[in-house]
Structure 1
Amino acid sequence: MRANAVIVAAALAAGVFATPAAADVLPDRAQAVGYLETGGPGVARAAEAALLGSPADLQTFLATGRQQARDDDDRVLVTQVLSTGGPVAKRAAQQALGGTIEDVRAFLATGLAQARVADDRIAVGQAMSTGGPVVNERAQKALDGTPADVRAFLETGLQQARDTDDRITTDQALAAGGPEVQAAAQTALDGTPADVRYFLSVWRQVAADGDAELAAVQGQLDGAKAGAAAHHPLIVRLAGERARKLASDARTANTTRLATQQSAAQHDAQVARGAAADAEQQAKDAAARAAQAKTDNDKLLADAADPALTVPNGRRASVYLLRNGGTAVKNAARAALSGSDDDVVTFVRSGLAVAQESDDRAAVAAIAADTTARPGLRQAARDALAGPYAGVAALLRTGDYPGRDTDDRVEVNQIMATGGPATKSAAQQALDGTVADVRAFLATGRYVARTHDLRIRVAQSLSEGPEVNAVAQGVLDGPDSYLQPYLDGELGKARARDAFTAAHVAKVNGLLAQLP
C-alpha cells in the first residue's frame, strides 16, 4: 500500500493525472462539436453539456456518454416506427424494443428497410384486391420488379393507374347510361381526375336517379294519356298523382343528399380549421421561443464583457450561434467552440463582429442582385456595400432607403386598385394614416383584408343554388386555405351541378305539364 502511495505521489508531482492542457483538449472539442451538429436530439444535448462543462465532462461524453445518448436516440427512432410504420415494420420495431440495444441497432441498420419493403408489397397486394384492370396490371409489374419499383408504384403509379381505371369506368357509363348519366359522364371526362372521381362517387348515382325519374314520370304520363283517350278519368287522376309524387320524392331525396353532404363537409372543415389553428399557434409559440432565445443570447454576449464571464458566456453563445447564425457566424462559432479559452475570448471580443459583418454584407449583396426588388432598395444596397458597415447594418435593421415611403404608397394604391371592398377600405385607411400605418398594411394588413374579401365572396355565393350552398357552407367553416381554391374551381363546378339539376327539373316539369 505504501509503495502504491509513493507511486501516486510521484505521478501527481510529474503531472500525469493533471488536467490536460487546452491544446490537448482541442481535438476532443472539435469531435464533440461535430456530434453537436450532426447527432440526434439526445446526442446533441449531451454534446452541448459536455462542451459547456469541464474537460472531464468532455472526456466522459466521448468515452461513454455519446454512445448512451445515441442509444436513447435510436430507441426514440424505433418508437416512432410504432406510430408511422406498416404492420411488418411495427412488429419488427416492437421486437427490437423488447430486445437488447444491439437488436435496436440492427433494426435501424437493416431491419427497418427490410420491413418497409415487406409492407410496401402488402400495400400493393391490397391495392390489387380492390383495383381495376390497369391497377392490377401495373401492380403486378411492380411486384415483379425491384423494391424501388414497388415504392415508385405506391408513390405515384398507383394513383395514375386508378385515374386510368376511373376513366375506363366513366367511359363505360357514358356508353351504357341514360341521357342524364351520359351528359354527366362527358362533363367529368372533359374535366380533371378529381371531376371523374366525383362523378363515380356521387354524381353518377344522382344522374342515374334522374334518368329513372324521367322514365318513371314519362311512364305515368303515357298511362294518363292512354286513360284520357279511353275516357277513364280515375286512371288519369291516379297516373297524375303518381307522376307528381315521383317528382316530389325525387326533389326530397336530392335535398336530403345535399344536407348529408353539407353536414359531412362542415364537419371535415371544422376539423381542418382546428388543425390549422393549432398549427398557427405552434408557429407563434415557436417564434416566441426563438425570439426569447435570441434575447437570452444577446444578454449572454453583453454580460461577457465581464472577464469572469467571457469564456463561459462565450461558449454558450457559440452554441446558439452555431445553430442560428449566418454562414460566417456559424464558422466562427464552430471554431470558438472547438478551440481554447483564448479562442473564445477572441471570438467574443472581435471574431463575432467580423463574422456578423461578413454575413450582413452577403445579405445586402443578395438584395442588390435581386431583380425582383424595388429599384430604390437595390440602389440603397449597392450604396451601403460601398460604404462603412454601419450603413449595411442600418439597411438590414430598418429597410429604409431614399424614396421608400413613396414606393410604399404606390404599392398600397396598386393593391387598393385590384382589391375587394375590405382591401380597399384598409388600404385607404393606411394611406390616410401615418408612415407606420402604411408599413403595417403592407406587412400584415393587406393579407388580413384579402382574407376578409375572400370570405365575403364565398358568403355571397351561398344564395346561388343548393349545390353551391352545400359546398360554400363547408368552405366558410374551414380554414382560410379553403377560400381561394373554392372561388377558383369548386364554385364553378358546383354551379354546373346546379345548372344540371335545374335542367333536369325543367324536363320533369315539362312532362308534368303535359298531364291531361
Structure 2
Amino acid sequence: MKLPRVSAVVAAAVLTPAVLFPSTALAADAPQPAGVSGSDTVSEGEPTQEELDRAEVQKILADKESGVSVREAAEKALAGTAADLRHFLEVGLHDARYIDCRVEVTKFLATGGEAVKEAAKAALRGGSYEGLVAFLKEGRYQAQATDDRLELVRLLGRPQTGRGVKEAGEKALRINTPAALRHFFEVELPKVRADDDRVEVTRMLGTAGPALQRAASAALSGTYADIVKFLKEGQYAARAEDDRAEIERVLADPQTGPHARSAAQKALEGDAAGRRRFLESGLAAARVSDNRVKVSQIAENGGPAVRKAALAALEGDDQAVLAFLEQGWAAARAVDAAAPKPTGQPTERPTDRPTEQPRTTPAPQPTATAPAAPAAVQAADRTTTTGGTTARAATTGTTADTVARSGQLAATGADGLGWEAGAAAAAVAAGAALVVVSRRRPAGD
C-alpha cells in the first residue's frame, strides 16, 4: 500500500518543471506594450514615459514660436499611441521645424530689403537646417541693419523729407548700430513724420487757392488720418479746382495774347494733369510767344528809337523782350517824342486837332510862299486841270502816310492798348492824319 503513494509523489515531482517552465517561456515571448521596458517600470504615483512624452508634445504645441508644420505633426502625435509620441519627439519634430524654417526664410524674399533678400537666398541655397536657423537668429538682423542704413540715407536725401525726420534720422545715423537704426524706423519715424505732415499742411495755407485752403483747414481740424488722406488725395482734388478757376481768369483777362488764350482753352478742356502743366510751364511759354509778336508789331509801327529798341530786343532772349515791354518801350517813345521834327513835317501832333482861328480874325491873303486859305477841295480841283499839280498831289499823299505812321505810334503809347484795340487805334490815327493834311496846302500853290 505504501508503494503507490511514493509513485505519485515522484510523478508529481517529475511533471512540475514541465508545467512551470513552458509558462515562463511563453510569458517571456509575449509582446510588451509600446514604450514600456523593464527599465520603465516605475513605482506607484510616478508618471510613465508615455505621460512624459505627451506632456512634452503639448508644451511644444502651446509654444507661440511653433510653426504650422510643427503644430500639425504634434496634434497628429497626440492623437496616436505612445510610439507615435516618441517618434515625433525623436524624428518628426526636427523635420517639421526644418519645413517651417524654410517657409519663414522664404517670406523675407518678398518683404526684406536688398541685403536681407540676398542673405535669405544664401540660406535657402545652403539647404541645411543650421543655416536656416542662423539666418533667422542673427543673419537677418545684420542684413536688416545694412538695408536700414541705405534707406535712411535715401530718406534724408529726398527734398520732401521734413525737418523733424531729418534731425531724427541724422541722429540715428551717427549712432549707426542695428538697434538704433531699427528703433528709428519702428518708433521715431512715425512720430516725427506726423509732426512734419502737420507743418506741411499748415504751410499750404499761405500760398494755396481758395479750394485748397478750405481742404487744408478741414484736415488740420481733424485727426492725423485726415491729414494723411489730404496729403495723399485731397490736396490734388482741391488744386484741380483752383487750377480750373485760374485758367478761367486767364481767359477772361483782355490782356491775354492769342497764343496764351489758345493754350488756356486747350488746357481747360483737358484733364487735371494737363491744367497743372499749363499753369506751371505752358502759360509762361505762350506768353513769351505773345510778347515777341507784340514787340514785332511795335517795331513795325513805332518811331525810329522805338523801332531800334524793339529789333534789338527781338535779337535777344526772352528776358530782353520782356524788359523792352516793361521799360524799354516807354524809354524809346520818350526819345522819339523829344526828337526834333524833320523840315516840312507838321509841327503839331497828328492826333491833336488844328487850332481854330477866331472868327473875328480876317483870313490871310495867299502869297507865293504861303499856302492859300481855301480848303483842300479847291486844291484838288486845281490838280485836275494842270499837269504840274499832279506831282504836288503825290507829295501830299507821302506826307499823309508819314503822319499816319506817327499817329500809329501815338496810338501805341504808354497806356498799352489791348490786342483787340490795337488795329482800331491805328485806323483812327490814320484818319486823323488825313484830316490834318486836307486842311493844309503845300507851299507854291
Whether the TM-score (by the shorter chain) exceeds 0.5 is no
TM band (smaller chain): 0.3 to 0.5
TM-score computed with the length of structure 1 as normaliser: 0.37
Q: Structure 2 length as normaliser, TM-score?
A: 0.42
Q: Which has the larger radius of gyration?
A: 2
**Higher helix fraction (1 or 2):** 1
